[in-house]
Structure 1
Amino acid sequence: MAALSPDAILLTGRVAVVTGAARGIGRAIAEAFEAFGAQVAVCDRDKPRRDRDQPRRDRTDQGKGGALAMTLDVRDPVAVEVFARAVAERWGRVDVLVNNAGGTFHAPFADVSAKGERTLIEENFTQVTGMIRSMLPLMGAGASIINVTSSEAHQAAPGFAVYAAMKAALESLTRSLALELAPRGIRVNAIAPDALPTEGESGVRESMPAGEFDPVRVPPLGRLGDPGDAAGAAVFLAGDLARFVTGATVHVDGGIHAAGGWRRV
């Protein structure tokens, strides 16, 4: 294999798919991929701000760098297949798939209804397996799958038990697929973010009752990060700098995972 050069950080000419890209970490990743030269296809059930007056569902849009944008629910298998066909028609391949879409709500485990549990499972796990199955036929040697999990995949999460279980399942899936897809030259890794404030994360925190368990707000680095920090890890995992990295989880959390129960006083 050729020696690395400074250009190895670039994603020029690669086709990248990012789910849940209307805001937060997904949007930051999509914008970073474009900045590093990729052709980007994004989807989200929320319309990007520039699209709010446009028809819903199967709309496609050519934007910066020939980007493709579709408004859909990733839990809908039919909509996902339509999205995959649109990507195939536009570029004929996928070089990077980032499964970022997901969500949760705060509730004691005993108060989560069967419907609520199904929603959490579909939103954080089964939609990922469905998206991977839809995109795999378009992926070849050198491709990269990046699953966005959470610190909750690696620690207890009272009030978010089912969500944390699904993120742990996704982390396990990442390692299993890394082995299954290795013969095809496809790498599979995960990013586990924490302490990166976003609109969605802030809303969940505000719903948590006072006096409940609360995760550490300030990580060992002494400051919060932002969605761009997760985007930096995604750029690394998507490109040739990580060409020998598979089955790994990058913790983008300012040291929270490493600290375990330790916290600065």
Structure 2
Amino acid sequence: MMTGFLEERAGLSGKVAAVVGGGGGIGAAVSIALARAGVDLALCDIDEAAMAETASAACTLGRTVTTCHADATDEAALDAFYDRLERDFERIDILVNIAGGTQRREFMAASRADIAQDIQRNYGYAVQSVQRAVPLIRRSGAGGSIVSFTTIEAHRGAAGFSVYAGAKAATTNFTRAMAVELGKEKIRLNCIAPDTTPSRGNMNGLPPEYGEAFGRLPPSAMSKGMEMYIPRGEQPPAEALADAVLFLASDMARFVSGMTLHVDGGTMAAAGFLDWPFGDGFVPVPLAGTLERMYRDGD
């Protein structure tokens, strides 16, 4: 049971959350964090084994958990999840839309099926999820919180991820519009925009040859790359994203709505400034120190 000043201000204990994509990786971190805060859970995920493990951990914490093995991008499957949720809990207070993903490819190399898939799994399902969740949130009469995961790519020209970036931008603006539409009902909608995180999903978004190349690098080389790219110098772990969900879902954010919270260690703020090595420091392009090392032979 939660006790103490912060727990009382958060007001999460006793609430019910639906977590779409709550089985593994970031979803598991979010689900367990909510469970630790005293929230009962309805989980939907395509990875049945990971979801079962997460559900077991939440049950161990004393929470009531219902699960549905489903692909959230399948309209009938997502409806089945919400039908089960309604039978088991009757209402929810929190919705977290985490499911998503893409594959790096040039737009002109993408098939129409690739494009449709990117739109559905990064925007379409989230619209359906919100539409199903709102009547269940309304039942308490006390409002609620909807948090959807977008990405930093929704806010920059992400070459190689064009449809994904566009779909996530759509989710971001849909969230703003619905925050206005539902504001007087005290139903808040916000987004979390991660950047690079040490997750399987991020690696799966790259072509296989990239993963193989990264696998040949020593860990120190990977960390050096992150030190250059992320002002904080390290990737935010899944737990940092879970903390952001806890805040946005809680009463401490009761007047925060229609916003996007960037949990990225400062990459959005940097806007292309990288901490180049060899004395160049934070600049958009490498200076003489780095260029000399890279092209000392004139190539």
TM-score normalized with structure 2 length: 0.78
Asked if residue 96 in structure 1 is aligned to residue 83 in structure 2, the reply is no
Letter in 1 for 2:245: A
Letter in 2 for 1:221: R
User: Which one has the bigger helix percentage?
Assistant: 2
> Equivalents in 2 of 1:153, 1:87: separation in Å?
30
Alpha-carbon shift at residue 142 of structure 1 (Å): 2.6
Letter in 1 for 2:28: R
Asked if residue 242 in structure 1 is aligned to residue 240 in structure 2, the reply is no
> Equivalents in 1 of 2:207, 2:237: separation in Å?
18
> Equivalents in 1 of 2:236, 2:115: separation in Å?
30
**Aligned equivalent of 2:263, options 247, 252, 257:** 252
Q: How many residues align?
A: 248
**Aligned equivalent of 1:229, options 240, 248, 251:** 240
Structure-to-structure mapping, 1:128-167, within 5 angstroms: 128-140=126-138, 141-167=142-168
* Higher radius of gyration, 1 or 2: 2
Contact 2:104–2:207 (8 Å) recurs in 1: no
Q: Deviations over 1:34-86 (max 9, x none)?
A: 0111001111111134749xxxxxxxxx9441111110011222222221121
Contact 2:91–2:137 (8 Å) recurs in 1: yes
TM-score normalized with structure 1 length: 0.88
Letter in 1 for 2:127: T
Please give the secondary structure, in 1, of the residue aligned with 2:104.
coil
Please give the secondary structure, in 1, of the residue aligned with 2:231.
coil
Q: Residue 232 and residue 164 in structure 1: after superposition, are their counterparts in 2 closer, same or farther (change >3 A)?
A: same
Q: Residue 50 and residue 81 in structure 1: after superposition, are their counterparts in 2 closer, same or farther (change >3 A)?
A: closer
Q: Deviations over 1:207-242 (max 9, x none)?
A: 4768xxxxx744101111211100000000001110
Q: Deviations over 1:123-159 (max 9, x none)?
A: 1111111111111110133300001000101111111
Please give the secondary structure, in 1, of the residue aligned with 2:68.
strand
Please identify runs of 4+ aligned residues in structure 1 that moved more than 6 A: none
> Equivalents in 2 of 1:50, 1:185: separation in Å?
30
Letter in 1 for 2:200: E
Identity fraction in percent: 36
Q: Which residue of 1 aligns with 2:191?
A: 190
Please give the secondary structure, in 2, of the residue aligned with 1:48.
helix
Asked if residue 172 in structure 1 is aligned to residue 173 in structure 2, the reply is yes
Q: Residue 204 and residue 78 in structure 1: after superposition, are their counterparts in 2 closer, same or farther (change >3 A)?
A: closer
> Equivalents in 2 of 1:50, 1:176: separation in Å?
32
Structure-to-structure mapping, 1:2-17, within 5 angstroms: 5-6=5-6, 7-17=8-18
**Aligned equivalent of 1:262, options 273, 289, 293:** 273
Q: Which residue of 2 aligns with 1:39?
A: 40
Alpha-carbon shift at residue 92 of structure 1 (Å): 1.2
Letter in 1 for 2:185: R
Root-mean-square deviation over aligned CA pairs:
2.0
Q: Residue 102 and residue 36 in structure 1: after superposition, are their counterparts in 2 closer, same or farther (change >3 A)?
A: same
Please give the secondary structure, in 1, of the residue aligned with 2:205.
helix
User: Structure 2: which 5+ residue stretches go unaligned?
Assistant: 214-224, 277-299
> Equivalents in 1 of 2:25, 2:158: separation in Å?
21
Contact 1:195–1:219 (8 Å) recurs in 2: no
Alpha-carbon shift at residue 89 of structure 1 (Å): 1.6
Moved more, 84-93 or 24-33: 84-93
> Equivalents in 2 of 1:25, 1:233: separation in Å?
12
Letter in 2 for 1:224: Q
